[in-house]
Each structure stands twice: as C-alpha cells, then as structure tokens.
Amino acid sequence: MQQPHYIMFHSRKPQLSAGTIAQLVKITHFNEAEIQQHYQTFLNDCPSGKADKAYFIQLHRSMYPSGDPDEFAEYLFAVFDRNRDGFIDFNDHISVLSTMMKGSFEDKYKWIFYMYDIDKDGFITYAEMSRIFIAIDKLTCRVIKSSWIQESPEMRVNRMFAKMDRNKDNKLSLDEFLAGCRSDPAMLATLSPSSF
C-alpha cells in the first residue's frame, strides 16, 4: 500500500507521517525537529500543502508589497518545482531550504545557476542573466534606490561576463559560473535578492 504524504490527527492539522519524515531526514540536511518546524511554517503560508504558480506569485506579492515580484517568482517557481508537476509541495520546498540554508558552497551556487539558466540547456546566456537581473530589480525596486544601483542590469551582466566567461563564447558553463563565484565572495549579493 502506498504511504500517504501526511496523515490527519484530531486537530485536523496535517502532520507528516513517520515514513515521510524518515525519508526527508535522509535526503536533506535537516533533523526531525527542524523538518517538523519547517512543515508548520510551510503550512502557514500554504495551508493546502501545495502551491501552483499563481498562488506562489501571490505569496511573493505579499512578501514584497512595494515591488513587482511576478517575474522573479516565475523564475523561482521553475527551480522550486524540480519535478515539474506544476506544484511546489513540501518535498520541493524543503529540498530548496536544505540547499540554501545548509548546503555546500557548490550546491548553493549550482541551484542559483539552475535558476539563471532559464531554458535549462546547461548554459547562462547574456539574455538569460539580463532577464533575471531585471526581475530582481523589479522585485526589490532597486531602480529608485541608492547610488551603486545606478549600475544598470546591462552593465551588471557585462561585468559578470567579463569576469566569468573565460573561453569568451558568450555563455557561462556551470564550471565558469562556479569558478567566478568562488573568486568573489560578494557575488551572491549581485546574483540574488537580499532576502535569499
């Protein structure tokens, strides 16, 4: 018989089954207590236990009330929904948290690479990096804020490629990307919103 994803208790609050927890302990960097805690937080945001794209975008609108997070949330959704079933469930969610909170340097930046590689062909192009930079600016309303932000998305992309595209083929392989990020600890701040 197939294990249910969760079982209901008297409180009617969904709980993870022991089998699911044991499996998540195995495949993430979290212990049982942490998984339980993340599950409750996940349910607060997402009481039905899974989010489709529209719901996920809606959540980001409430997280960034003064920005326009729609585009960025779409790109994020594509990386969260790794099994591409159109939903982010707790398994999708916890595996991203595990990577971003407790993963190795390489795992974290691989994940970011995967987000920037919008068409998932294994390379980041100028166009892909520009689209994500523009989406991050819209999300955080960077355009109107302080001085360093005067650097346009295009200037930032050029700076990134000058630094990372070692073989000058106008696209970044995963190796080029990881080597570039390793050489500059401040890279994360340019590549992602501050809330990461």
CB of 24 to Ca ion, least distance (A): 15
Of the candidate spans 18-26, 111-119, 141-149, 188-196, the one that interacts with Ca ion by CB under 5 A turns out to be 111-119
Site for Ca ion in 18-57 (CB under 5 A): none
* Amino acid making up residue 180: G
The C-alpha atoms of residue 153 and residue 97 are separated, in whole angstroms, by: 27
The C-alpha atoms of residue 146 and residue 156 are separated, in whole angstroms, by: 16
181 backbone φψ class: left, alpha, beta (φ>0; ψ -120 to 50): alpha
Asked if 175 is part of the footprint of Ca ion (rule: CB under 5 A), the reply reads no
CB of 183 to Ca ion, least distance (A): 15
CB of 95 to Ca ion, least distance (A): 10
- Which of 118/139 has CB closer to Ca ion? 118
Residue 51 CB neighbour total at 10 angstroms: 22
Classify 62 as helix, strand or coil: helix
Asked if 106 is part of the footprint of Ca ion (rule: CB under 5 A), the reply reads no
User: Site for Ca ion (CB under 5 A): how many residues?
Assistant: 12
Site for Ca ion in 73-92 (CB under 5 A): 81, 83, 85, 87, 92
Asked if 119 is part of the footprint of Ca ion (rule: CB under 5 A), the reply reads yes
User: Residues 94-130, buried b or exposed e (16+ Cβ, 10 A)?
Assistant: bbbbbbeeebeeeebbebbbbbbbbeeeebbbbebbb
CB of 170 to Ca ion, least distance (A): 7
Contact of 183 with 109, CB cutoff 8 Å = no
Question: Is beta strand 6-8 parallel, antiparallel or unpaired with respect to 171-172?
Answer: unpaired
Of the candidate spans 61-69, 118-126, 138-146, 152-160, the one that interacts with Ca ion by CB under 5 A turns out to be 118-126
Of the candidate spans 20-28, 53-61, 166-174, 187-195, the one that interacts with Ca ion by CB under 5 A turns out to be 166-174
- Which of 10/168 has CB closer to Ca ion? 168
Contact of 187 with 180, CB cutoff 8 Å = yes
Where do contacts with Ca ion occur on this chain (CB under 5 A)?
Answer: 81, 83, 85, 87, 92, 117, 119, 121, 123, 165, 167, 169
